[in-house]
Chains A and B, each alone.
Chain A
Amino acid sequence: TQLLEQSPQFLSIQEGENLTVYCNSSSVFSSLQWYRQEPGEGPVLLVTVVTGGEVKKLKRLTFQFGDARKDSSLHITAAQPGDTGLYLCAGSTGNQFYFGTGTSLTVIP
């Protein structure tokens, strides 16, 4: 079983603060995705990273894939209430995606 651990599990911050969410594994992945899920909805793909050390930016969100392709981080700058949701990472072995344990983020206005 490919286990992806996310930390922290829960995060509550004030609007305007910065935060980082981590996704760690002992396994190597060919690619890694980040999703955001709102209550009662399906997850929505934010980004896919495929190269060790790769950094992708999506407005205020910065995603990084670890050099060894075993871990990833998501950094949000100046968080807004609209960023509230469950953030999920998912690693691909080429045959299947394995989802992380999730980070529930609440941004307080």
Chain B
Amino acid sequence: SQTIHQWPATLVQPVGSPLSLECTVEGTSNPNLYWYRQAAGRGLQLLFYSVGIGQISSEVPQNLSASRPQDRQFILSSKKLLLSDSGFYLCACEGWGNMDYGYTFGSGTRLTVV
């Protein structure tokens, strides 16, 4: 089964500053990768997904962008953060986990824009 590494765990950034969140995957090759954002205690909003190197699909127009420079690396970026970008960001990989087929998630990044 695959493992997702996501960092940093927490981040406090001023409005207008840039952002780079990184996600790497172990245990699989050519995975479908996803970036989600989660409001406190609620469901997940899909931001971007990628089916391969350099292939990015955006679900929600926003202040963010994503890139996939390597097969098992997925990066979420912003040139200038807004207050509304605050949230819990999760990277996910689709495939067979320990129990069943679905998503394996990273441990998340709590972003606070001040």
- Write out, one digit per residue, whether chain A residues 18-40 have a CB within 8 A of any chain B CB (1) or not (0): 00000000000001010100001
Give the contacting residue for A101; candidates B42, B102, B110; CB below 8 A.
Answer: B42
A45 and B102 form a contact (CB under 8 A): yes
A interface secondary structure, majority: strand
Given the interface pairs A99-B43, A99-B44, the reply to whether A44 lies near B101 with Cβ below 8 Å is: no
Which chain A residue has the least Cβ–Cβ distance from B101? Answer: A48
B107 and A33 form a contact (CB under 8 A): no
Residue in B36, B100, B107 with the greatest tally of chain A CB atoms within 10 Å: B100
Q: How many residues of A contact B (CB 8 A)?
A: 25
Which chain A residue has the least Cβ–Cβ distance from B110? Answer: A40
**Contacting residues, chain B, for A84 (C-beta < 8 A):** none
Which chain A residue has the least Cβ–Cβ distance from B108? Answer: A42
* Number of residue pairs spanning A and B whose beta carbons lie under 8 angstroms apart: 60
- Write out, one digit per residue, whether chain B residues 39-57 have a CB within 8 A of any chain A CB (1) or not (0): 0011110100100000000
B100 and A45 form a contact (CB under 8 A): yes
Measured CB to CB, the closest approach of chain B to A12, in angstroms, equals 13
Measured CB to CB, the closest approach of chain B to A30, in angstroms, equals 11
A100 to B42, CA, bound (A): 9
**Contacting residues, chain B, for A46 (C-beta < 8 A):** 99
Which residues of A in the span 55-109 have a Cβ within 8 Å of any Cβ on B?
Answer: 58, 86, 88, 90, 96-97, 99-102, 104
**Contacting residues, chain B, for A42 (C-beta < 8 A):** 4, 6, 90, 92, 105-108
A90 to B105, CA, bound (A): 13
Determine if A52 is an interface residue (Cβ-Cβ < 8 Å). no
Given contacts A40-B110, A41-B107, 15 further A-B contacts (CB under 8 A): A35-B103, A42-B4, A44-B105, A47-B100, A48-B101, A86-B41, A88-B43, A90-B102, A90-B103, A97-B102, A99-B43, A99-B46, A101-B42, A101-B43, A102-B43
